[in-house]
Amino acid sequence: MTLSSEVRRLGQHFSQAYDDRMAAVISIRPGTAQELAELHGAHQAMAEEQRERLSQQVDELHRDTAVFVKELDAAHQAMAEEQRERLSQQADELHRDTAVFVKELDAAHQAMAEEQRERLSQQADELHRDTAAFLGELDAAHQAMAEEQRERLSQQADELHRDTAAFLGELDADHQAMAEEQRERLSQQADELRRDTAAFLGELGADHQAMAEKQRRRLATERTRLASGVAAMRGELQADLSEAHRVWGSFNTLMQQRRAKKSAPPPPPPPPVEKVAPPPPPPVEKVAPPPPRVEEAPPPAAEVAPDDLTAIRGIGPSMQQRLNQAGIYTYAQLAGSTPEDLRNALGEAARLAKVEEWIVQAEELV
């Protein structure tokens, strides 16, 4: 038997032993998969180490054999038939030694494989027993823990029910007190708003009456001035009409004198001069009073673009005009103002204005 055949047979034997061990490992229960995986990894590492060691030894043997064969060939060419016979004997001894070594190595590998199978079987049995005991203890502990958790959850649920009932009672009481307080506050604010509205309407009526009286005086003055102008125009028209009558009389007299000089038949009497009634005075149109002059606010600085202040809730065009008159054109200027400054700028209209809310809204828009 050659060396390569022995090596091939040894590899097949290793493969068969490996397959046997894998079949034994697969037959173990799935619960021991992790332990078997570790054992399988250890066995694979050991088998890999054995294969590497055998491969190294075979490679060394091949190298040594090749070297020896080369030396033998060189010596065979240099030596005689006696040397060839001696080398042949040595080669036979080497083959026998190699065969003995391979047989011993095979026996050692079989013994090691048997020992590994027995050890794996014992470890698997111990693992089965330990797993069964652990599962029993785990089941008992799980049942005890579940019972303890149920009791604890029941106690917590009872406490939560009591706390929820107490919280709902306090919340109801607080809500009623808050609602009563809100009703009182709203009632007070409504009363203040009614009083402020009544005062504002009174002042507005007084201002309207004063403005109406001022307009009536202005209209009376304008009517008097127009009447004076119409009377003067009528006098001028009457004077012009008298002058026209005088000129016409002079013209008629001159014409009669000329006819008399020519001995002509007497001219017919001049037509009677109809008295032309003076034209009626033009109707006096009621001139609407000029609108009250509103002082225009100074224009904003060229580098500051004015904002639309009416975007703020509570500010209308009139309020924006008052703010512009006070020099407030942008949201930043409004946000930087104080409530007192805004009230002073708005005057009487500030009583119904919520300037604090304006400032808050302007800060949000900046």
Q: Is the pLDDT of residue 357 over 80?
A: yes
Write down the pLDDT at residue 139: 85
Is a pLDDT exceeding 80 seen at residue 159? yes
Q: Residue 148: inside a domain, yes or no? A: yes
- Mean pLDDT is lowest, of 37-51, 66-80, 313-327, 334-348, for 66-80
Cα–Cα distances in angstroms (integers) from residue 328 to residues 16, 311, 314, 318, 359, in the given order: 100, 14, 16, 13, 12
Considering 128, 159, 190, which residue would you say is the last residue of a domain? 159
Q: Is 198 a domain residue?
A: no
Owning domain of residue 104: 3-159
Pairwise CA distance, residues 127 & 36, whole Å: 10
User: Quick check: is 43 in a domain?
Assistant: yes
Which of the listed residues 108, 131, 159 is the one where a domain comes to its end?
159
Q: pLDDT digits over 166-197, tens only?
A: 877 786 777 687 768 878 886 788 687 678 76
For 11, 218, 282, 291, the CA distances from 288, given in Å and listed in that order, are 127, 10, 18, 9
Task: Give the residue with greater pLDDT, 29 vs 241.
Answer: 241
Rounded CA separation 366/359 (Å): 11
Q: Please say which residue of 159, 178, 193 terminates a domain.
A: 159
For residue 109, tell me if it sits in a domain.
yes
- Global confidence as pTM: 0.23
% pLDDT > 90, the chain: 24
In this prediction, residues 337-363 reach a mean pLDDT of: 90
Q: Tokens in use for 177?
A: 């007190």
- C-alpha–C-alpha distance, residues 308 and 315, integer Å: 10
- Cα–Cα dist 209/206, whole Å: 5
Q: Region 267-289: what's the mean pLDDT?
A: 50
In a domain, 315, yes or no: yes
**What is the total count of domains within the chain?**
2
Q: Establish if 244 belongs to a structural domain.
A: no
Residues 249-259 have pLDDT tens digits of 777 787 777 77
Q: What CATH number is attached to the domain comprising 338?
A: 1.10.150.20
Return the number of other C-beta atoms located less than 10 Å from residue 320's C-beta.
19
Q: Where does the pLDDT of residue 362 fall: very low under 50, low under 70, confident under 90, or very high at 90 and above? A: very high
Residue 285 falls inside a structural domain:
no
Structural domain includes residue 350: yes
What φ, ψ does residue 292 adopt, rounded to 5°?
-60, 135
